[in-house]
Amino acid sequence: MMKNIDEKIAGIRRQLAAGGSRAAAPNQQPRRTLSAAARQRIAAAQRKRWAAAKAQAKPAPAKRTMSAAARNKIAAAQRKRWAVLKKAEAKKNNAVASGKKPAADKAPKAATAAT
């Protein structure tokens, strides 16, 4: 039994050394070479197919642009929001630096009715 296994291993090694992939398909024909004229005809036909496909393709939709006035309006609103935040941050930092508790927002408190 060991002799049989050794013989099979030796056979596999011979196949690998001889290029086993080519030996596995001996009836495979060599590749054909095309002439330059044939390659040019094939390329021209492919270009024609691409041109036809591109002609049927839909054009990309135009990008929407924002007017300068609209951009300025948005920028002004953003600057206003940042100014409010910076003012609140500065107020908080000043209170901490002076050792005071930061003041809570002065929203009107709802009056509780005692009835």
Asked if residue 25 belongs to a domain, the reply is no
Sort 49 into a burial class: Cβ within 10 Å, 0-12 / 13-18 / 19+.
exposed
Asked if residue 87 belongs to a domain, the reply is yes
Asked if residue 60 belongs to a domain, the reply is no
pLDDT of 114 above 60: no
pTM, 2 dp: 0.32
Q: Which domain holds residue 77?
A: 70-95
- The 8-class DSSP code of residue 57 comes to S
Asked if residue 114 belongs to a domain, the reply is no
- The 8-class DSSP code of residue 108 comes to P
Number of domains observed in the structure of the chain: 1
26 against 85, higher pLDDT: 85
What's residue 109's pLDDT? 58
Alpha carbons within 13 angstroms on the beta-carbon side of residue 92 total 8
What's residue 50's pLDDT? 95
Asked if residue 17 belongs to a domain, the reply is no
Distance CA 76, CA 80 (A): 6
What's residue 104's pLDDT? 59
Amino acid at 86: K
**pLDDT tens column, 23-57:** 455 678 888 899 999 999 999 999 999 999 988 88
Distance CA 58, CA 34 (A): 36
What's residue 87's pLDDT? 93
Asked if residue 63 belongs to a domain, the reply is no
